[in-house]
Structure 1
């Protein structure tokens, strides 16, 4: 069993697999002249960047849980850039947007509108607790920037603690607090005052414990706060999305206690996982805690309209003289119509209950595969967000890079699309609307690919 390590590991952190020989072979296999022509035009007109260029394929349709490429091949979409909680083109979302377009397509920033107000009110309702103040923005990265600004304003402290391997967006302020080195590569000086600590990782953590507890990772936050001083905020995902790290309730309870004790604002970035992926509206609700600031986006717009929101508490409504966001589409009627329709669809179809049931099924199936196939080192997840970590050796936990790529491209051949993170973690995040039959079919495709890889790479 061998696996390639051609690039430093940090280049693999967001699944940068689009420049490997396996990707080249995949692109060459697309024997369809219009597809190749469009890929060539794409390469010639867009600026090239990691994780985007060259493109995987070209699309001309997206409906429900499926993507359809330009030569008619359909893929079950288990990635969707985390916007596809309702799948693609959900009729309720499309209808709401169409109706809004006919009435009020745009609202200048200094005006309000019924749709935006209703959307903000509905968000505070599903957030519950003290989270009752909202600001909208065009995307998640912008919301993270707004949250960092508000935390500085409230605490008068500019320093921030975040987690290694975290992702909070790709702008300069977001990569400053983010924990993935590949995004900071070659960018020079960034926002000062950022301290990073290890995330609570159960399988290959930096600070393993004898009893399997992860609370000591939270205690490390307090150590840094006390040693560094001047910390205004701690920012983290409640559950890391890309390689699916799921801390314990004890960890998050301890984090909340530490932040309260030291007057540090807790910012939860739920941009990829919010809107039901955890089986709760927002992932922190599964941990019975409440952040000071909640950042949401991606799936909020129903997979159609880019919209994000920062939600905070009334007691932090003290920045009236500060332009926290000041975005042109601050109260977008179109975006808010899409968000309202998304929330209503999740409610009307009882998707949160469905996700919790689906979660039990997926967990059982993946755990069964783990027991059967030696390439699977770990299975972890929540709701309809699951990570399957592939390793060459269960003792050393060496990352199975080549094997993960082989699983990816075999699944693509068979009509299943997903993301690979850290180079060896298969991330499975289907639309919440997926039927049990479709879910079963997707897992069968995945298992078939795993079995083939075990045979091809001589796993016993």
Structure 2
């Protein structure tokens, strides 16, 4: 059998998150002294197929509650990663109670049947989405929803071509990596879905097409240029805010994109799978920009951090594919998934979490900008709601990425009790549960600054003269 040696650099593999095969990871693993943890990690490595960013694993967990993960040795980590499912933290009691109640009555429903929990969930989603997004289709995961959205756009427009953004992540299936913009996921996969045109994302720091005034409107103009030159474009797919390394476009950018899609009869698909359900201080990210997509893809946090659950929302005018199986998933109207989603919405409303997130965002912004002024290794801070990125550089003028420092900061924070991921090799991404208390948020930021200070002093003493 032919085997393939790794051909991607560590930098390429770090596009979506931190790597699990670096020398730093090896040192971390070698330092684990707990025998039960060692045994479990060895068994995991023995029985699971290895892949980037998972097996081999970082640690072995025993429990998860609220903002904390607890490993088998009793060490607790504040979870500022959570794979973006932990909007309500882990094991929220109201979500668990809703799931247990549903399990006792209707644990599963075949596709051909409906039930009250599914209908209630669809109603609730259309209510918080507002506008014209009044049609729903459920699926067991976000990647599946991306596939459904692409199929619906093809059916509605009659065009198979799609425009997407470089560096975007829309899932790891073959159709999702076809429209995704991270080359590391396409490496060695051979021919993928035809008709995908990628354009530069609207990046204000280190952008491919920087403007003198800092505006990102010209990135939208590039979309129109490609639509007009290529022809036959059916859809434009993008995240409202890029989750991995936290890129926040301007309101003006999204307003222009919406106008361009309208004028050219291109369907706008917004992937809000990682950031929906309140992460940005709005139910869904597009609401922060005053626009409405033709198709909205949500997932991850929709299941309350417990049940895999996702949904595609679209407009009544696109309810035209009755003879097409857009999803056809076994768990299409999962009772327990719908129960978890309903409980998640209820908790967010009762605890007024959207307002809390916006208040937390102001605090986070102030803390991070003060940190940036103190430590020149920080080239940029950016974010909204409870999604923030800290970009580390070796030189603010050249914006050279500080790979070693970012990795050091991550592992030092893990030692202190804080878990997050590093994206693009040098961006510290912070995504705490929306329920986090201010004291815990302050403690986490203290740890981040401590780790950044240590890395700065060790690697870049010239920066702190």
Question: After TM superposition, is the score higher than 0.5?
Answer: yes
1:39–1:57: 8 Å Cα contact kept in structure 2?
yes
Note if contact 1:298-1:306 (Cα within 8 Å) is conserved in structure 2: yes
Distance 2:354 2:18 in 1: 32
Q: Map of 1:112-131 to 2, 5 A cutoff?
A: 112-131=114-133
Aligned to 2:181: 179
Q: What are the residue-to-residue correspondences of 1:367-446 with 2, within 5 Å?
A: 367-446=369-448
Distance 1:17 1:454 in 2: 22
Matches within 5 A, 1:79-90: 79-90=81-92
Instruction: Report the Cα distance in structure 2 between the residues aligned to 1:442 and 1:8, rounded to whole angstroms.
Output: 27
User: How do residues 292-371 of structure 1 correspond to structure 2 at under 5 angstroms?
Assistant: 292-371=294-373
Distance 2:98 2:416 in 1: 34
Query: Any conservation in 1 of the 2:141–2:309 contact (CA below 8 Å)?
Result: yes
Match of 1:3 in 2: none
| Structure 1 residue 8: Cα displacement | 5.8
* Aligned residue among 146, 151, 154 for 2:148: 146
Alignment match, 1:159? 161
Match of 1:41 in 2: 43
- The separation in 2 between residues aligned to 1:338 and 1:20, in whole angstroms, is 37
Q: Which segment drifts farther, 16-25 or 55-64?
A: 16-25
Tell me the equivalent position of 2:5: none
Residues 1:189 and 2:191 aligned together: yes
Taking the aligned partners of 1:293 and 1:14, their CA distance within structure 2 comes to 24
How many angstroms apart in 1 are the aligned matches of 2:178 and 2:9?
Answer: 23
**2-structure distance, mates of 1:194, 1:22:** 36
Spell out the pairing of 1:27-66 with structure 2 (5 A cutoff). Answer: 27-66=29-68
Structure 1 unaligned spans of 5+: 1-5
Contact 1:161 1:194 in 2 (8 A): yes
Counterpart-to-counterpart distance in 2, 1:456 and 1:16: 21
CA RMSD of aligned residues (A): 0.8
Task: Report the 3-state secondary structure (helix = DSSP H, G, I; strand = E; otherwise coil) of the residue aligned with 2:433.
Answer: coil
2:104 corresponds, among 83, 102, 105, to 102
- In structure 2, distance between residues paired with 1:353 and 1:404: 31
Within the candidate set 254, 260, 263, 1:261 is matched to 263
Give the Cα–Cα distance (whole angstroms) in 2 for the partners of residues 377 and 300 of structure 1.
33
Quick one: which of 234, 241, 244 aligns to 1:242?
A: 244
**Contact (CA 8 Å) 2:80, 2:420: kept in 1 or not?**
yes
Q: Is the 8 A contact 2:18 2:421 kept in 1?
A: no
Separation (CA, whole Å) in 2 of partners of 1:207 and 1:222: 15
The 8 Å contact of residues 10 and 19 in structure 2, kept in 1 or not, is answered as no
2: CA distance, partners of 1:16 / 1:346: 30
Structure 2: which 5+ runs fail to align? 1-7
1:217 paired residue among 201, 219, 227: 219
Task: Give yes or no for the alignment of 1:285 onto 2:287.
Answer: yes
What SS does the aligned partner of 2:63 have?
strand
Residue 314 of structure 1, CA deviation: 0.1
Task: Give 3-state SS (helix, strand or coil) of 2:163's partner.
Answer: strand
Offset of residue 7 of structure 1: 2.1
Contact 1:164–1:179 under 8 Å retained in 2: yes
The Cα offsets for residues 275-300 of structure 1, whole Å up to 9 and x where unpaired, read as: 00000000000000000000000000
The residue aligned with 2:203 is: 201
Deviations 1:331-389 (A, max 9, x none): 01000000000000000000000000000000000000000001100000000000000
Q: CA deviation at 1:9?
A: 3.3
Whether contact under 8 Å (2:10, 2:22) holds in the other structure is no
1:304 deviates by 0.2
Alpha carbons 1:16, 1:50 under 8 Å: kept? no
TM-score (norm 2): 0.97
Q: Supply the distance in 2 between the matched residues of 1:26 and 1:48 (Cα, whole angstroms).
A: 18
Contact 1:246/1:381 (CA < 8 Å) preserved in 2?
A: yes
CA distance in 2 between partners of 1:12 and 1:164 (Å) = 15
Matched position secondary structure for 1:392: strand
SS for the counterpart of 1:391 is strand
List, as ranges, runs of 4+ consecutive aligned residues in structure 1 with deviation greater than 4 Å. none
Shift of residue 34 of structure 1?
0.6
Deviation, 1:395, is 0.6
Name the TM-score, length of structure 1 as normaliser: 0.98
